[in-house]
Structure formats: C-alpha cells, structure tokens
C-alpha cells in the first residue's frame, strides 16, 4: 500500500480530512478508526459512496472489500443516500406499547413514503428502527442524531415543520 499522495486528493472537507489524520493516531492500531471514520464520512457525504470507501480503505491500508465487509455489518451505515433528515422511529417493545406504530403510520401519511423511503424533495427519509435507548421516554424517535421523546401521533406535524424550517433556512433543500 502506498502512502496517501496528498491531502488535496481527499474527497472530504479539509476539516474532516484533518480529523481523520488525528483519528488514526489515537488508537494502538490504525484500523480501530474504521467505524468512527465511516460514520463521520457518512455524516458529511450522506452515504458511503464508492469514493468514500476507496479513500477510507486507502487511509487505513485496508482493501475495499474489507471496508465493505465491516460497513455492511452496521445498520446505521448506508450505501445509498438518505434524506437530509433521516427520521428513525423506534417500534421496539417499550415504544410499541406506547403507540410507536401509530406514530410511524402518521409519519408515513405525512411524508407519503414508507420504511426506507425518501421524500421527492430529498428533505426527509423515514425508517423504522430498533430500540434507540430511550425506552423510558417512549415512544421516541431520532432525526439524524437528535432525540425526540414522549411523542404522540399528533406531535408529528410539529416535528416535521421544525425540520422543514431548518431545511429552508439552509437554502431550500
């Protein structure tokens, strides 16, 4: 494996590239940085594109196959773009008992998409997920990394509105 040619070759922003440089130094073994790197890369690029996988493999001295083997194991990592705000509705037991399916149905209705669907404007995607560690404040969801808890079906329009405004403030998308 040849050393990386130069930072200017990176597909990541200079800040993220610098963060990666630091990350690989943190661990006794470089490869340990793989999972955090994939998450941060996904946060920036939106998903693990072929280019992302190639660069991460290169940075860690791994094969692309190896990176894919690991990436495909973890359910938060994706190989296709999601909406800008990915709504993850927990329907696991504690949430289910407190109305998670109604909540999920309401999201489907409001957004017009189902599980793993993306709204045509690309602003939202919807996902039914497993327990997110907010069981005592059920039902709970995450929008990207933000938690919203103790929800009811009626909370849905308000939440969507909040993110729509954020999307609008950021230039329409």
Partner 1 sequence: MADVTFTVDGKKLTAPAGTLLIEACRKAGIEIPAFCYYPGLSLQAACRMCVVRQEKVPKLQTACTTTVAEGQVFVTESPEIAQARKATLQLLLGNHPLDCPVCDAGGECELQDMTFKYGAGESLYAEAKQHRDEQQWSPAVFFDRPRCILCYRCVRMCGEGMDVWALGVQNRGVSSVIAPNGEDHLDCEECGMCIDVCPVGALTSGSYRYKTRPWEMNHVSTICTHCGDGCKVTLGVRQSHEGTDLVRGDNRDKSGINGDFLCAKGRFGFDFVNSEERLARPLVRNASGRLEPTTWENALRVAAAKLKEVRDSRGGDSIAVLGSNRTTNEENYLLQKLARTVLRTNNIDHVRTADYATFARSLAGQEHKAASLRDAGNAPAILLVGGNPTEEHPLLAWQLRSNVRLNKARLYVVNHRTIKLERQAKAVQGVPPNGYRDLTALLDRNEGDLAKAVMAEESLLLIFGQEYRGEQMEALVSWGLKRGNVRFAYLGDHSNSRGAADMGVLPDLLPGYVSVNAPGAFAEEYAGMPAAPGKTAPEFLEMAQSGQLGALVVVGENPAQRLGWAPDALRKTFLVVQDLFLTETALQADVVFPAASLYEKTGTITNTFGDVQLAKKAADRPGVRPDFEILVRLADAMGADVKALVPFGKRGMRADFGQSRGAQSGEADRHAVWLASHGLEPKLSPFDPLAVLDEIERLVPAYKLDRLNLFAGNDVPTEPAFVPVSALTQPRADLVNPAHDGLFTSGTLGRYSAYLREIEEHQAHQLAETAAD
Partner 2 sequence: MPRLVSHPDEVKIVTRRFGQGAANIEKYLELGGYEAAKKCLTQGPDWIINEMKASNLRGRGGAGFPTGLKWSFVPKQSAKPKYVLVNGDESEPGTCKDHLIFLHDPHAVIEGTIIAGLAIGAKMGFIYLRGEYRYLLEIMEKAVADAYSKGFLGKGIFGSDTEFEVVTQTGAGAYEVGEESALMESLEGKRGVPRIKPPFPAVVGLYGGPTVINNAETIATVPHVIAMGGAAYAAVGSERNGGTRLFGLSGHVERPGVYELPMGYNLKKMIYEVGGGVRGGRKLKAVVPGGSSTPVLLPEEIENLGMDFDQVGKAGSMLGSGGVVVIDDQTCIVEFALRTISFYQHESCGWCIPCREGTDWLKKSLTRFHAGFGEAKDIDNIRYLAENMMGRTFCPLGDAAAMPTLGFVKKFRKEFEDHLNGKPCPFAKHVELAVV
76 lines the binding site for ligand FES (CB under 6 A):
no
Selection from ligand FES, partner 1, partner 2, none that 47 binds (CB < 5 to 8 A by kind) is none
Per CB under 8 A, 4 contacts partner 1: no
Question: Taking CB under 8 A as the rule, does residue 17 contact partner 2?
Answer: no
C-alpha of 142 from chain center: 10
Phi-psi sector, 133: left (phi>0), alpha (psi -120 to 50), beta: left
Q: Give the three-state DSSP class for 114.
A: coil
CA distances from residue 74 to 78, 94, 154 in whole angstroms, order as listed: 9, 23, 32
The tokens for 14 are 């200079």
Which CB, 18 or 65, lies closer to partner 1? Answer: 65
Touching ligand FES, residues 103-162 (CB under 6 A): 131-135, 138, 140
Query: Nearer Cβ to partner 2, position 146 or 165?
Result: 146
């Amino acid at each position: 494996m040849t050393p990386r040619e130069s930072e200017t070759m990176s597909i990541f922003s200079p800040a993220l590239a610098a963060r990666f440089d630091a990350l690989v130094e943190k661990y006794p073994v470089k490869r340990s940085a793989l999972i955090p790197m994939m998450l941060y890369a996904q946060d920036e690029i939106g998903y693990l594109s072929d280019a992302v996988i190639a660069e991460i493999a290169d940075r860690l001295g791994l094969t692309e196959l190896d990176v894919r083997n690991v990436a495909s194991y973890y359910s938060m990592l994706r190989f296709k773009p999601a909406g800008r705000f990915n709504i993850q509705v927990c329907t696991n037991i504690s949430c289910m008992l407190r109305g998670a399916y109604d909540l999920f149905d309401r999201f489907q209705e409001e957004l017009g998409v189902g599980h793993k669907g993306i709204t045509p404007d690309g602003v939202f995607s919807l996902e039914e997920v497993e327990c997110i560690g907010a069981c005592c404040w059920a039902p709970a969801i995450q929008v990207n990394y933000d938690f919203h808890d103790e929800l009811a079906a009626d909370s849905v329009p308000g939440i969507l509105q909040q993110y729509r405004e954020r999307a609008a403030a950021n230039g329409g998308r």
